Structure 1
């Protein structure tokens, strides 16, 4: 894939080192700090103007890490004299972490990634207030990265020289091919011409600054193998020719060039000896080139970029630093925790859990995001979760569910999911605290995100659609629905507590209306569990009823159809809710679509819904006009289970009774009216 890196204004180049000198003028010794300040401002104006808003192109794969792409960018900056420049990539407002891949961030091909400097402009210069040589998180690239970068550059310089030497050998081979036509075995020049032609045509071109160039350079590894084979194949006949020519020359002595020992023979012997030596030397060179080809940009730098600074120094900066230093420290800790489990244990052992908990409540949104993400990474290990709960971490995460950005809410919900999925005791901790209210608040916020569109399922005049959301909002809603489902699936006692809170059902109703099938499935499963414990909590949700009836027109996912049918059954079994159910438009069409499914469970649910409606004594007069006989007849004709057939048959019998009673009641009412002209007619 091709990646476009758009840079902001670069911090100026640090041309001035930690020098200590004085300049003597007419008025005596000038102040060193003033001179350095004037020079720094001068260079800042020049190079900031020169490198402002540059766009660079990087070739990478979806499976490459961000660190590898950054290493390629470091090579470019090295050419510009900016190898000590500290930067990070940002895509759609999110800083990209070195340990993750482009595939993890779902970055498409030809995407534009911003390169953001991580230091203020004056920080790239000598800090005139500090001459002790110390550095902090805001300054340039570490020595380890620079050393690794220099190693890679040396590898590429060596590759450039090796390929240049190979091309020189190839030109000598071409010269030898021409000279071979004036030897004893002139016909050897014919196959050499063919071989040299193709080797020249597909010879790869490489420069340290531009890399491999040209279409032929794409197969440089195969080219080297073919080159080696061709060189060996040409070396063998040259050795044979040399062996055939040497004995006559040795026997004759060639002192006076008499007999068969001629100048032609002597020239041929010398030529084939030199030609064989040339082919042997270039054959020996090829293994070194193939070995050099193993290394790519980032092989040395990547491992050092993924690593972070010493944890103790980062934690010290997180505790005592300024806002920017704390932000960088939170980012470093999140990156460090994402690399390995050992790093997670190291952070916790150094007291990083308390530090991250404090940073997550910072007023700076970026610091909150990085710290919350670091906490979520740490909580992937069950051994760390107990310690986090002990320091009051659950209350912190619940507070973060009220965060100002989607990222904060998503990471906090993810951390809570890790807590409750690995330890059942943590579920009660969340429920006993204000966790349910906080989760419901986050769910409502995910639903009422700006820049979204929603069309009411009750409106029949428009095409129905789900609520459209951005990817971040969908991921947040998905995790929140998973948290609710995990809490409800623990035990009946906890389920009873959650079911008694109407705010949970309301939140789940809103989540199931989002445009994500997984979120809908998790939300409907959670609502089903609430309905099992307390049907009244679900059947009182009027918006849910309209959404369930509209489900076949919104999606073709039969899993969602089945869950919708199961919850509709609770509405049908409740007398008051059943009256609302039959008033919903397109109810018969929905039931008929459910009945046409090949799933026997869904067909069985539909048959039970029809029976529950027919058994409701409050609506017996309206039953003949609902059109349920079509659904029952379809089930009876296409049932895949005996139980479904029996339910459909019972429903048809009840419908027959209700229809006959309705007709009898209509005829009695007509008789009571009388004929025209009689008294009482028209009363």
Structure 2
């Protein structure tokens, strides 16, 4: 597959990287490094970013969902403005310090590929020389050698791979390059053996067996007149052809030997690919002590590079995580996360998030006072920093029940609410997950109920267009309502958010959560009054009632029954057309208990208000005149209530 790489550092340029979906990010970066080498910027350290997420070197393209024709962003280690100015300066520091091993590996690969180009070009020349020699073979004593030489020549000239260092292998012949080199080497060895034997045989006949004793002359084998009739050793009539054959096969053996040497070298050279040297150096464990020393230096560039490398190491394996912690890396990363350099701050927070995936490290992090500083990062101006901080906090809340109370205290809830106001979908999703985890513990749940800003934040989260965020927020609201049912009544905008869910989402699971929360409204007189007078209530209830989800039908039937049982609201319900809700529910419900609730609601609705009764009869007559009951099930034991006059 191939994907495209864009960057603000190289405006107007789009790079193409060809990889397999199972290749690591480090392998893809190796391809990009070769492109940068041609641009003279191989020393520029960078990362890939896809869908707002930085890609870790040790993971694969498939892990991040990078598929064919995707667009990946090239993100330099420094921020764009700093990177552009850095491009105008010398690269001596990068070569001697951070990244020097990678550049050395890159130069080694470039050298290999340049050698491959030279070997293939030389082998192609040798092949054409052999092609000319193949034609000349017809004039030798052993003219039939023309046949195998032709086969060898045609195989070589047709199957030799086409390669350039910039474009790589081209065409189908580049798919099996090592197989070609192996087969062609065997062919040339056989050809070499044949040429040596034929050259030796031709020379032997010329030197040893070309003379005969006097008296054993064969007049058919020579022209006596040509030698003045003297009875001396007479050469066969093929003298010149034997000399030609001996010289030809000797020279041919020399050329074939060159072909053997080139093909064997190519067979060895073909085992190297882009990333053979670079990829291990991008993934391998660095000297953690040296990185932490660089992080403690006063040079901002050293700190940035150290944070970058520590982040990559933390993402590689659990062993590296524990090594970083054992070397005192937690405090170092906490200090770097408070750096004034945005890039350093971002890499450090991301590294902390990687470390905090391990519960044992979470305890040490909290003990060393890292949690308040992590919460403070939720106020950062850089949304990437806020997002990584929110992710790190969500790890602690999910895995460590003992630390949830610590998160809820010391203004932690206010910090989380502030992060929600950023409006970033990723941040909101992480915070919503954290709120749900906190609501699982009694102490932190009580703290959330006692914090007014949490209610506003949850309402904002419930309005998010991201369904997972909505689900987490609604589940949290339901749990907090169990703690204190009056809690959800403090923010009237919550009701509007719940009623808008059917319009904005087709997820019946979200509908069910919203309906369960509305149950708390109808159980409270003030909440029920607010629900009755809420804008769009009838339309939303019709949508809820038309669902085929039986659990949702049961909940909605209880809600409408509770609303109608409150006599003070019946006239209002009649005026706003609540009979449409009853008709929809009566038509669609399939659960026996829900059907009983709806029938009871209809009886109460019709027995109390004459106007409501007339509208109800109108709806019944519409049904009997051809109204469709597309979802109504058959219940032979269903109870039919008599309609009062």
Is residue 2:210 matched to residue 1:255? yes
Is residue 2:111 matched to residue 1:174? no
After the TM superposition, which residues 119-130 of structure 1 pair with which residues of structure 2 at under 5 Å, given as runs? 124=90
C-alpha deviation, 1:504, in angstroms? 1.4
In the superposition, relative to structure 1, how do residues 536 and 219 fare at CA in structure 2: closer, same or farther (>3 Å)?
A: farther
C-alpha deviation, 1:337, in angstroms? 2.0
After the TM superposition, which residues 497-512 of structure 1 pair with which residues of structure 2 at under 5 Å, given as runs? 497-512=447-462
1:29 aligned residue: none
In the superposition, relative to structure 1, how do residues 302 and 232 fare at CA in structure 2: closer, same or farther (>3 Å)?
A: closer
Alpha-carbon distance in 1 for matches of 2:536, 2:589: 22
Is residue 2:70 matched to residue 1:113? no
Alpha-carbon distance in 2 for matches of 1:100, 1:571: 48
CA contact (8 A) 2:184 2:263 kept: no
Is residue 2:429 matched to residue 1:478? yes
Q: 1:225 pairs with 161, 175, 179, which one?
A: 179
Alpha-carbon distance in 1 for matches of 2:16, 2:452: 53
Q: 2:46 pairs with 65, 85, 88, which one?
A: 88
CA contact (8 A) 1:505 1:538 kept: yes
C-alpha deviation, 1:578, in angstroms? 1.8
C-alpha deviation, 1:98, in angstroms? 4.8
Alpha-carbon distance in 2 for matches of 1:585, 1:122: 61
Is residue 2:535 matched to residue 1:585? yes
Alpha-carbon distance in 2 for matches of 1:385, 1:651: 54
Alpha-carbon distance in 2 for matches of 1:563, 1:65: 41
In the superposition, relative to structure 1, how do residues 652 and 274 fare at CA in structure 2: closer, same or farther (>3 Å)?
A: farther
1:365 aligned residue: 342
In the superposition, relative to structure 1, how do residues 187 and 204 fare at CA in structure 2: closer, same or farther (>3 Å)?
A: same
- TM-score of the superposition, structure 1-length normalised? 0.72
In the superposition, relative to structure 1, how do residues 318 and 529 fare at CA in structure 2: closer, same or farther (>3 Å)?
A: same
C-alpha deviation, 1:91, in angstroms? 6.0
After the TM superposition, which residues 403-442 of structure 1 pair with which residues of structure 2 at under 5 Å, given as runs? 403-442=380-419
CA contact (8 A) 1:119 1:139 kept: no
Q: 2:119 pairs with 162, 167, 174, which one?
A: 162
Q: Deviations over 1:569-592 (max 9, x none)?
A: 222332222222222333233222
C-alpha deviation, 1:519, in angstroms? 1.0
1:433 aligns to what SS in structure 2? coil
Q: Deviations over 1:373-413 (max 9, x none)?
A: 22111111122111111112221222222222212211111
In the superposition, relative to structure 1, how do residues 183 and 638 fare at CA in structure 2: closer, same or farther (>3 Å)?
A: farther
1:541 aligned residue: 491
2:74 aligns to what SS in structure 1? strand
Alpha-carbon distance in 2 for matches of 1:571, 1:502: 18
After the TM superposition, which residues 2-401 of structure 1 pair with which residues of structure 2 at under 5 Å, given as runs? 3-4=4-5, 57=15, 59-61=17-19, 67-72=26-31, 74-75=33-34, 85-89=43-47, 98-99=57-58, 109=70, 113=74, 117=83, 124=90, 142-182=99-139, 196=153, 200=157, 203-208=160-165, 210-212=166-168, 214=170, 216=171, 219-222=173-176, 225=179, 255=210, 263=238, 282=259, 286=263, 288-307=265-284, 310-401=287-378
C-alpha deviation, 1:256, in angstroms? 5.3
In the superposition, relative to structure 1, how do residues 595 and 202 fare at CA in structure 2: closer, same or farther (>3 Å)?
A: farther
1:401 aligns to what SS in structure 2? helix
CA contact (8 A) 2:195 2:252 kept: no
Report the number of matched residues: 582
Structure 2 portions without partners, runs of 5+:
213-217, 222-235, 615-645
1:59 aligns to what SS in structure 2? strand
C-alpha deviation, 1:424, in angstroms? 0.8
In the superposition, relative to structure 1, how do residues 284 and 402 fare at CA in structure 2: closer, same or farther (>3 Å)?
A: same
1:17 aligned residue: none
Which is greater in Rg? 2
1:518 aligned residue: 468
Alpha-carbon distance in 2 for matches of 1:144, 1:650: 79
Q: Which region of structure 1 is more displaced relative to structure 2, 537-546 or 114-123?
A: 114-123
CA contact (8 A) 1:579 1:619 kept: yes
- TM-score of the superposition, structure 2-length normalised? 0.76
2:556 aligns to what SS in structure 1? helix
Q: CA RMSD in A?
A: 4.3
2:590 aligns to what SS in structure 1? coil
CA contact (8 A) 2:185 2:263 kept: no
In the superposition, relative to structure 1, how do residues 118 and 384 fare at CA in structure 2: closer, same or farther (>3 Å)?
A: farther
Is residue 2:551 matched to residue 1:601? yes
CA contact (8 A) 2:558 2:597 kept: yes
Alpha-carbon distance in 2 for matches of 1:521, 1:213: 50
C-alpha deviation, 1:430, in angstroms? 1.5
Q: Which region of structure 1 is more displaced relative to structure 2, 117-126 or 602-611?
A: 117-126
Structure 1 portions without partners, runs of 5+:
9-51, 127-134, 447-472, 665-683
Alpha-carbon distance in 1 for matches of 2:569, 2:472: 33
2:505 aligned residue: 555
CA contact (8 A) 1:88 1:95 kept: no
In the superposition, relative to structure 1, how do residues 539 and 179 fare at CA in structure 2: closer, same or farther (>3 Å)?
A: farther
